[in-house]
A and B are shown apart, each in its own frame.
Chain A
Amino acid sequence: ELKVEQNPLFLSMQEGKNYTIYCNYSTTSDRLYWYRQDPGKSLESLFVLLSNGAVKQEGRLMASLDTKARLSTLHITAAVHDLSATYFCAVDIGNNDMRFGAGTRLTVKP
């Protein structure tokens, strides 16, 4: 059974701190995506990672992919309140099909 596991599921952090969200998956895949969801809103694409070793950065967020370890990370640097949201990883399992993790609910406190 395909598993996409995010860790942690809930994260409360103070502004200015750094933290990493992990996404482990159980199938062979070389494509992984990160999405953001604000409360009451739909999902917004953040990063598209298309190969082993891919690293993408946007503002205070940086995503990386290790296909051998079947692991992606989303690193938050010097968190700010505006980053509070739920973050999902999604694994491309082939034939344009994708499976999502359960999401990490991030709260950044002053």
Chain B
Amino acid sequence: GAGVSQSPSNKVTEKGKDVELRCDPISGHTALYWYRQSLGQGLEFLIYFQGNSAPDKSGLPSDRFSAERTGGSVSTLTIQRTQQEDSAVYLCASSLDSAGGREQFFGPGTRLTVL
């Protein structure tokens, strides 16, 4: 399909382990976003990539969180030394700046559970 894909769909890990979450945006979309959504809560902005510009990391909750976007396409969100409070659904979205707006298209999310 041509939508945003994320992997894995589910990840269970032990406290203290590192995890990597992957996002494949829609081809040609210049902007990519990561959000975190805890159970029953809203979206917490984490990080935003726009083209080749420096990413906006203002939403990352701690230095255990980092993200990369290689070649302007695929992005990886890394959480080091996971904690139980990191358990949430991590959503990725991409968008294309156009005259029709910057509507974000969301992936299905990765459900992270830290035991």
Contact = CB atoms under 8 A, between A and B. Distances in A.
Interface of A: 31, 33, 35, 41-45, 48, 50, 88, 90, 92, 95-103
B42 A101 contact: yes
* Range class of the B interface residue count: 20 to 34
A103 to B, nearest CB: 5
Interface stretch (B17-25, B43-51, B71-79): B43-51
B101 interface: yes
Contacts of B41: 102-103
Contacts of A101: 42
Interface in B23-61: 30-31, 33, 35, 41-43, 45, 48, 50, 56
B42 A102 contact: yes
A50 B99 CA distance: 9
Given A50-B101, A96-B50, A98-B102, A42 B42 contact: no
Nearest to B100: A48
A91 B108 CA distance: 22
A41 B30 CA distance: 24
B97 interface: yes
Contact of B95 (A35, A43, A96, A100): A96
